[in-house]
Amino acid sequence: MTDTTGICAGRVAVVTGAGRGLGRAHALALAAEGAKVVVNDIGAALDGSGTATGPAEQVVAEIRESGGEAVAHGGDIATSDGAASLVATALDTYGRLDTLVNNAGFLRDRMLVNLDEEDWDAVMRVHLKGHFLPLKHAAAHWRAEAKAGRTPEARVVNTSSGAGLSGSVGQGNYSAAKAGILGLTLVAAAEMGRYGVQVNAIAPAARTRMTEQTFADAMAAPEGDAFDAMAPENVSPLVVWLGSSASAGVTGRVFEAEAGRITVMQGWHPGPTADKGARWTPSEAGETALKLLAESRAPEGVYGAK
């Protein structure tokens, strides 16, 4: 991002899985727009094995070197204690929590007949449970704030995938988890709106550790000054806008984000789309998203919502 507007000035954001890839890009972009950031990452390998403090601490160092404020959190957010400590870190360090970006995840790809129960459980745990528990603890805090007369302008951005929208051969566990995140997003948006909480989801496409083996040469960074269509930083402006107060009124929605394109998903079918052909600024992404939403049909009501 070259142009910044301070769209997140005064806000405190938590990003899970922020040591590398999309999470790192989101954390840096939020900090560049004025947010204080809690950088969560356990430093696991691509398959979820092992831990290391280095990735989160390196991102924190990058933010601080750029003049921002950040703190590292190395807890396992797929446990209740880890998710609770994540929220507590934001509150204890900065006194508030405004934005939660759920991003952590890893892969254990297998064809269904070869997919072990352990691989199913591990992927469901990090993606689906790893979304639910931070959301649960953050939502409990925001509900308490609202009941105390301090209704927040809280934002949650969940991370699904094209695999969750359409399925992906060899990724039954991952596709199921990412589809589950979409359902969780709709329910959370319906339940938490009364407390000042907006919940949306993105289905990003970018070059990360999780995708480089799948797409290989097709996702390689271009040489020279050519637009790097698959850079994870291209997704972050929309995340920044959704995580800011500027996105007021947008909740329970799903966006695909790739390169210079943002698409509002309608019942998991592509709806209105706009392609700049280059990276968006957060303001441009927000203006475009609002125009696209104005052109799209309203989503179906969530069963049981009042």
In tens, the pLDDT along 266-298 reads 887 889 999 999 999 999 999 999 999 999 988
- Write down the residue that tokens 């601490």 correspond to: 57
For the ranges 117-126, 164-173, 174-183, 249-258, the lowest mean pLDDT is seen at: 164-173
Q: What are the structural domain ranges in the chain?
A: 12-295
* Gap between the Cα atoms of 114 and 207, Å rounded: 26
Establish how many alpha carbons lie within 13 A of residue 292's alpha carbon, considering only the half-sphere containing its beta carbon.
Answer: 25
| Domain 12-295 is found in CATH 3.40.50.720 | yes
Prediction pTM value:
0.87
The CA distance from 219 to 229, in Å, is 8
Question: Which residues are bridge partners to 158 per DSSP?
Answer: 201
Q: Report residue 226's pLDDT band, with 50, 70 and 90 as the boundaries.
A: confident
pLDDT, greater one: 219 or 114: 114
Active site residues: 161, 174, 178
Asked whether the predicted pLDDT for residue 48 surpasses 60, the reply is no
Section 191-207 average pLDDT: 96
Q: For residues 173 and 115, is the Cβ–Cβ distance under 8 A?
A: yes
